[in-house]
């Protein structure tokens, strides 16, 4: 099997962020009563995608990471490691806040798009609140 390239890993990041945005939009569209009961699945979906993002970031070369000097690469990888190895200590409210109130997701998306060669007009857009 051929070795994955930085562009492959970066495309994985873009796809995971697109999935996060989709999960957010779907969750926000639910009525309040349904949203409350769907919260555990929502948090699980976000957790999986954040772990995917972190794994892809972990595999990017230093040269690729240089395209995102403002991206907190080590924090993203650290979050992945925490979610994967300390899942029993995961705080659902922090997982949700990480994707809903953190500007780093957009910064990461922009850097990943450059690395993957994806034009900005093809990038996923965060859902409106």
CB 95 within 8 A of CB 47: yes
Q: How confident is the model at residue 2 (pLDDT cuts 50, 70, 90)?
A: confident
Predicted confidence (pLDDT) per residue in 43-58, tens digit? 999 999 999 999 999 9
| pLDDT at 91 (0 to 100) | 96
Single pTM value for the model: 0.94
Query: In this predicted structure, what is the pLDDT of residue 102?
Result: 77
Residue ranges of domains in the chain: 6-113
Q: What is the band of 25 on the pLDDT scale with cuts at 50, 70, 90?
A: very high
Which long-range contacts link 96-99 to residues 24+ away (Cβ below 8 Å)?
96/42, 96/43, 96/46, 98/46, 98/50, 99/20, 99/24, 99/46, 99/50
Q: Which of 100, 50, 93, 96 is nearest to 75 (CA)?
A: 50
Residue 63 neighbours by CB under 8 Å, 6+ apart = 6
């Amino acid at each position: 099997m051929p070795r994955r390239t930085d562009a492959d890993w970066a495309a994985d990041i873009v796809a995971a962020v697109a999935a996060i945005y989709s999960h957010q939009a779907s969750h926000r569209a639910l009525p309040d009563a349904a949203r409350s009961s769907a919260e555990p699945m929502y948090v699980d979906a976000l957790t999986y995608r954040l772990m995917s993002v972190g794994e892809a970031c972990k595999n990017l070369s230093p040269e690729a990471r240089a395209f995102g000097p403002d991206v907190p690469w080590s924090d993203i990888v650290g979050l992945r490691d925490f979610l994967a190895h300390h899942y029993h200590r995961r705080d659902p409210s922090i997982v949700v806040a990480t994707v809903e109130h953190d500007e780093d997701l957009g910064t990461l998306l922009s850097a990943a798009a450059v690395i993957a060669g994806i034009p900005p007009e093809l990038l996923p857009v965060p859902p409106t609140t």
